[in-house]
Structure 1
Amino acid sequence: MSAFDNLNLPSVDPSTPSDQVIGMLTREGMPFETTEQEINGVTHTVFANQPPSLREAFMMFLGHGDKEFMVYDDERLTFKDTIARASMFAQALVDDFGVKKGDRVALSMRNYPEWPIAYMGIIAAGGVAVVMNAWWTEEEIAWGIKDSGAKVAVTDGERALRFMTQADMQIIVARDVAPEAANVTAMATTLEGKKPFVWPTVDLGPEDLAMIMYTSGSSGFPKGALSTHRAVVSLLMNWVCIALSLKMLGRLNPDPDFQPVMLVAVPFFHITGLLPVLFVSATIGRKLVMMYKWDVEEAFRLIEKEGVTTFTGVPTMSYEMAASDLRGKYDLSTLTDIGGGGAARPPEHVKLIKKSFPNANPGIGYGLTETNSLTAVLSADEYVDRPTSTGKPTPPLIHVRITDPATGKELPAGEPGEVCIKSVVNIREYWNNPEATARAFKDGWFHSGDVGYLDDEGYLYIVDRLKDIIIRGGENISSLEVEGVLHAHDAVDDVMVFSLPDERLGELVGAVVSVNRDISEADLKAEVAKHLAAFKVPEKIWITHEPLPIIASGKIDRKGIKEQYRGLWAAAAA
C-alpha cells in the first residue's frame, strides 16, 4: 500500500471484530481520523485528512512506482507509466481541445489500458468524466450526449463510429485506427510534445464535479449520477481503511514485497469496475490483469499465468468458475478471494464456490451507482455462515437505516422496508433531473428502492425491489425503457416488461405484448435491438391478441401477469 506502508499501526488480537479495528484507525489523532462536517445542509461523517481532490489521489498512485499496474495481452504498464500518460493527456485536453473546468467529456470504450488513462486525464484537466455504457447504441449515445452537453468524447475505434453523427463533437480515438475525419484525433497523437507528471493548473477542490455515470432505473431514461471529488476520494480512503484493518488482523500477506493481483472481467463503465476494482487497486498497489471479454477458461489461464490472487465479477462469473470442469487443467492455487457484486448470488453458489475453491474466500458487496458502489461487504466465513446477507454497513462512512416506504418511519431490526443510505460517498444529485433527485434523496438519505432488513447483529439482507428494474448479469435494465420501445411499434397496443429467473445470469428480460395484427417475436426483438443495447433485448416475448388483464383501478395487473408468464417460463424450462 506504499503511501500507507509506514504508518504506525496499533497491535490487535486477530479475533477482534473488523469494525472495532476500523474504530481504532479513525480515532482522534490517528491517520484516518473522522469528524462530522456539514455539507450542503447535511451532516456527514468525513475523514479529517483526506486529499482535497482526485488529482492529489492520483499522485498517491506514484508511490507504487515501477510496479506493474495493468496487464493487457502482451502489454504491461507500470503505475509510473500510467500517471505519466494521464498527466500528458490532461495537458492535451486543456491546451489542444479547450476543455475548461466543469466541461463534460464523454468516455466510451472497452476495458483497454487507455480507459483509466483517459478518465484520470479528464478529471485532472478539470473536466467531468461522462462515463457511458460501451454497449449503448448510436441512439442511446445521442441521448447521453444531449443530456450531458459533452463536446469532446474519448472512445475506441468501434465506438467512434457511433459518435460520428454527433454535431460539433471532437472525438479522440484510443488504440484502434481512427476514422479519417476533421473532428477525429488519435489518442497517441495527443500525447506528443507533452511533459509527464505535469498537471494542468486547474483549481480543484472537494465539492467540484468529478463524474457523471448513467444508471438505469425505474423511470425509463437513464439518470446521470453526479459525483464530486470528495465523494470519490472518500470512497477510496474508506477502502484503504478497510485494507489496513485487515492488515492489522493478519489477514493480508505480510511480505512487504508481495503484490496482490486482480483479474478484471467487469467493465470500468460500471461502478464496481470503476471504483472497487480499478481505483481501489491503484490506491493499494494491486496489479490488474485485464480480459478482453469474459471466458471461463481464459480466466483460468490468466490466473495461472499471472498468479492472480483476487477476482471480483458479477455472480454469474464466479458460478461459472466454480461449476467448470476445466478447473483441474490449471494451477489456481494463488487465488485467495472470489468476490461478487452487481446482483444477488444464490446461497447454493456460495457453497459451491467454497467447495470448488477451498483455499479461497468467497465475498459479496452491496452498493449502487448512487452510493459509488459502497454500502455493505461480507466475505470469508462470515459470508459462508450468512450466504443470504450482504454484510454490515461499511464503517466508518456508511450509515444505513430501514424505513417504511409509505410513512418514512424507521423500522426495527428484522422488519423489512426500504434500504436508505446516508454517506459522504453518495452522489450529489442526478444531472439535469431535480425531480428524480428530490424523490431519491430526503434529508441526506438516499432511498435505494431496494427492500431489506437489518438483523439483531446489524447484518443487512436484501429481499426484494420496489423499482421496476431487471438485473441481467450485473447490468441494470429499466422495464419502462424497454416497454417504451415496444409501445412505439404500430402493431403493439399494450406491453409489460418484467424479469425472468435465470440460473446463470440471475435475471433475463421478458415481455408480453398485446398486438393489433400478426407479428412475429423475432420482428419485435429486432425492433428493440435497433434502439437499445443488446443486453436489453427480451429473451422471450409472449404475443397475445387479447388486451392485457387489468385490476379494479384500471391499471395493468402487473403482479398477476408476472406470475402467469413466469410460470410458463418455468414450465418450458422443466
Structure 2
Amino acid sequence: MGFTVTSAFRWWVREHPNRVAVDFDGEELTYADLSAWSSRVAAALIADGIRPGDRVSICAANTLDYAVLIVAIMLSGGIHAPLSFRSSARELRGSLDTVTPSLLFTDADRAGTAREALGDEAGKLRSLDVIRPLREATAPAPSTLHHAEPDEPVFIIGTSGSTGTPKGVVYSHRSIMTYAAEFAIMEPRTGNGGSILAAGPYSSTSGTLLLMQFLSVGNTIYTQSRFTPELALKLLQEKKITTFLASTIFFERIAALPEFAAADLSTIAFAQISGARVNPAILQAYREKGVVLRPAYGCTEAGGAWAARDETAFSEPEKCGPGAIFTEFAIRGEDGGFAPAGTAGEILIRSGALSQGYWNNPQATAETFRDGWLHTGDKGVLDERGNLTFIDRIKDIIISGGLNISAMEVESVIAEVPGVEEVVVLSAQDDQFGETPLAVVHGDARVTIDAIIAHCNAHLANYKVPRYVAIEPEPLPRMASGKISKVILREKFKDAAGMLPKVR
C-alpha cells in the first residue's frame, strides 16, 4: 500500500464500513456504500476505454452522483479534470483544449453547451444520468481497479490566473495526503470521526480537494446542492459538525440570519475563513459562540496553505499564521532574496502539499514553481515569529462568492465589443458575493452598457459578468510607463456600489 488517497479510502471502508462518508442534501452514503457504487462506476469507465492517466471531465452542478463519479475516476486510474458548470461554450472549449479529456460528463442543463464546445468531438460526451443505475450493477473484481502510486495525478483544477490563459493545476496522491495529514495532526478533531460542511463546487479546490482530503481521514462530509445560509446553519447544529472551511462571504451570510443569535455552534472545533478581508465584527460574532474563525492564506496551487494559530487568531486576527508542519511561508524581496521580518514582498510557499504544477505547461510550471518554492504573485509580510499577513493580490484576481475571476479574461472579452478602446476590470464590494467585477470602459458612441453586458453574457460564465459598468468619456489615466493606472481607478471607484447602479 502506498501513500495514496486510494489506500486511505480503502482503509476507512474496512475499519468503519457503516460510517457515513457523504451526506448530500440528506441522502447518505456510508463508506461501504460509496466504495461499492464508485467501484462499479470505475469498472464502467474502464469498459468505456479509460486507461490510467486519461482525463475525465465533468461539467455539472454538484450532486451525489457527481461525488461518486469523482471517486470512481480515481479508482479507475483516470484523472478528474472538472470544468465549471457556469462556463460558456467558449470557456469550455478553452478548458477542453487545456486538459484534453477522453470523456466529458454533463448534466441535462449543461449538455447543449458541452455539445457546442466539443464540436467534432461530441462522441466524448456522456450523461451524468448513467451514474445512478450503476449503483446496482455487478460488482467488479478488485483486480479490475487501478493500483495507484503516490506521485500519480488525481485531479486537475482549472485556473485562469492573472494572464487569463487557462491552466490546469495538478494534485497528486502524495500532495493530497500531505495536506490531509497536516490538518489531522495539527487539528485532531478534523481527522478520524470528524465531520465537515463543504460548500464549494466540485470544479474548485474547495470542492474536489476537500472531498478527497476528508475522505482520506475518515470524516463525514456534508454537502448542499446549492449553498443557503439557512440550511448551512441548520446542518452545523443538527449534525454537530466539527469543521467548517469556507470563504468570508459564507460566514457573513450565516451570521446575518436572525436565527444566528440563538444558534448553538459549540461542536465546531476548527473553522477556517479565507478569500477576503474579515470584518472584526464577524470574528467577534462567532467568538461569542465559542468559534474561532482562523484566517487562512491560500491559492489554487497550494490549497488553503494554513490558518492562524492561537497566538494570532485571538490577538491579531489580520494574520494568517506561520505555515504548518509541512508548509513554510517566506517573502521574496525586491532584490530577489528572502526579505526580513517586517518587509513586504511576494509571498512564497514551500510545502509537501503543493500541487505538482500545471498540466502540460512546463513553461508556466517553471516560472511559478522554482527553487523549491511556489511564487504566488501575491503581496504579504511576515512578523518576527513568521506569521503571515496578506496585503494584496499582485495578480489581478477577483474572488466572487469564493470563485476566482481573472480580471484580464473579462477585459479581453469586453475589448471585443465594437467601439471599445480601453477597458479595465476591477473588484467592487458586494453584499452577496463579497466581491464582484466592475468594468471601467472608454470608447466611441457605439459603446453602451447593454452591449457590454450582452457580449459578456454570450461569452462568459454568469459570475464573471460585471455587475457594475462605468463608461468614461475621457481616456483612462496612465502611469509614466504608459500602462493604465489601476491605482487611480481603484481610488476613484472605491465606492462603486454607492456611486453606480447595478446593471444586473
Tell me the TM-score normalized by structure 2: 0.91
For residue 337 of structure 1, report the CA deviation from its aligned partner.
4.2
- 3-state SS of the aligned residue for 1:489? coil
Counting only pairs closer than 5 Å after superposition, residues 114-129 of structure 1 correspond to structure 2 as 114-129=65-80
Cα distance change, pair 548–86 in 1 and its aligned pair in 2 (3 A): same
**Residue in 2 that maps onto 1:239:** 183
1:163 to 87, 91, 114: 114
Q: In structure 1, what residue type is equivalent to 2:127?
A: V
State the partner residue of 2:58. 107
- What residue identity is the alignment partner of 2:30? T
**Aligned partner (choices 172, 180, 185) of residue 126 of structure 2:** 172
Question: 1: CA distance between counterparts of 2:178 and 2:362?
Answer: 24
The residue correspondences of 1:105-504 to structure 2 (distance < 5 A) are 105-165=56-116, 166=118, 167-174=121-128, 178=129, 186-190=130-134, 193-195=137-139, 198=142, 200-244=144-188, 259-275=193-209, 277-328=210-261, 332-355=265-288, 358-371=289-302, 373-378=303-308, 382-395=312-325, 397-404=326-333, 406-502=334-430, 504=432
For residue 206 of structure 1, report the CA deviation from its aligned partner: 2.2
Q: Which amino acid aligns with 2:275?
A: G
Q: Structure 2, unaligned stretches of length 5 or more?
A: none
Quote the offset at 1:554 in angstroms. 2.5
Q: Are the counterparts in 1 of residues 65 and 132 from structure 2 also a CA contact under 8 Å? A: no
- The separation in 2 between residues aligned to 1:215 and 1:113, in whole angstroms, is 24
Match among 55, 67, 72 for residue 24 of structure 2: 72
1:530-572 Cα offsets, whole Å, 9 max, x none, are: 1111111112111124322223333222222222222555556
Distance 1:379 1:305 in 2: 28
Give secondary structure in 2 for the equivalent of 1:271.
coil
Query: CA contact under 8 A between 1:351 and 1:384: conserved in structure 2?
Result: no
SS of 1:370's equivalent in the other structure is coil
Q: Is the 8 A contact 2:295 2:318 kept in 1?
A: no
The alignment of Structure 1 onto Structure 2 pairs a total of residues equal to: 497
Q: Deviation per CA, 1:77-104, whole angstroms, max 9, x where unpaired?
A: 1111011111111111112x10111111
Residue 417 to residue 199, structure 1, CA distance change in 2 (3 Å): farther
CA distance in structure 2 between the aligned counterparts of 1:320 and 1:333, rounded to whole angstroms? 19
Matched residues in 2 for 1:196 and 1:331: separation?
45
Contact 1:500 1:566 (8 Å CA) reproduced: yes
> Runs of 4+ in structure 1 displaced over 6 angstroms?
none
Equivalent position of 1:86 in the other structure: 38
Matches of 1:169 and 1:390, distance apart in 2:
47
How far apart in 2 are the matches of 1:554 and 1:72? 52
1:367 partner SS = strand
The C-alpha deviation readout for 1:158-210, integer Å capped at 9, x for no partner, is: 23332223224433333xxx5xxxxxxx1234455431672635453222222
User: Which residue number in structure 1 is paired with residue 490 of structure 2?
Assistant: 562
- Say if 1:203 and 1:289 are closer, same or farther in 2 by CA, change over 3 A: closer
Amino acid at match of 1:317: F
Q: Aligned pair in 2 of structure 1 residues 201, 261: CA closer, same or farther (>3 Å)? A: closer
Given that 1:239 and 1:280 are in contact with CA atoms closer than 8 Å, whether structure 2 keeps it comes out as no
CA positional deviation for 1:60: 2.4
Q: Distance in 1 between matches of 2:448 and 2:499?
A: 22
C-alpha contact (below 8 Å) 1:261/1:287 kept by paired residues:
yes
CA contact 2:43–2:140 (8 Å) conserved in 1: no
Residue pair 1:92, 1:194 contacting (<8 A) in 2 also: no
* Aligned mates of 2:151, 2:199 — CA distance in 1: 32
Letter matched to residue 120 of structure 1: V
Aligned-partner Cα distance in 2 for 1:223–1:347: 35
1:120-145, Cα deviation, whole Å (9 max, x unpaired)? 21122111110222222222112211
Shift of 1:326: 2.3
* Equivalent residue number for residue 517 of structure 1: 445
Question: What is the CA distance between 1:467 and its match in structure 2?
Answer: 0.8
CA distance in 2 between counterparts of 1:337 and 1:409 reads 35
| Preserved contact between residue 81 and residue 156 of structure 2 (Cα < 8 Å) | yes
Cα pair distance change 1:164/1:413, threshold 3 Å: same
Residue identity matched to 2:208: L
The answer to whether the 8 A contact 2:37-2:134 is kept is no
RMSD of equivalent CA atoms: 2.5
Give the residue type in structure 2 aligned to 1:142.
Answer: R
- In structure 2, C-alpha distance between the alignment counterparts of 1:86 and 1:337, rounded to whole Å: 30
Partner-residue secondary structure (3-state), 2:428:
strand
Counterparts of 2:429 and 2:321, CA distance in 1: 24
Other structure's SS at 1:293 match: coil
TM-score of the superposed pair, with normalisation by structure 1: 0.80
The alpha-carbon deviation at position 264 of structure 1 amounts to 2.7
